[in-house]
Amino acid sequence: ARISGTVAADALSRRTARGALRFGMPSGVLTVDADVVQSASTWDARSGSFYRTARRLFDGRVWVPSADSD
């Protein structure tokens, strides 16, 4: 998605194209990023990264024990 002229790059908004990309999946969110540079007639990848959890770690709930349950 970082290489201009590709289907992925054309599908992204300008704001989205600046940061890491996040893909929602049934098992969680996959975050990917890349740093690419065009030199002459080729593209060079400087770095790439992704982060994915194997399962959902949080669901937005907090359990607070009562004061008498030491």
Question: Using CA atoms in the order 48, 54, 59, 62, what is the torsion angle rounded to 10 degrees?
Answer: -100
pLDDT over 80 at 54, yes or no = no
Report if residue 23 sits inside a domain: yes
Report if residue 69 sits inside a domain: no
Radius of gyration of the chain (CA): 19
22 CB-near residues (< 8 Å, 6+ apart): 29, 30, 31
pLDDT at 58: 67
pLDDT at 57: 66
Model-level pTM?
Answer: 0.47
pLDDT at 48: 85
Report if residue 70 sits inside a domain: no
Averaged pLDDT for residues 10-34: 74
- Band (pLDDT 50/70/90 cuts) for residue 28 is confident
Report if residue 37 sits inside a domain: yes
pLDDT over 60 at 17, yes or no = no
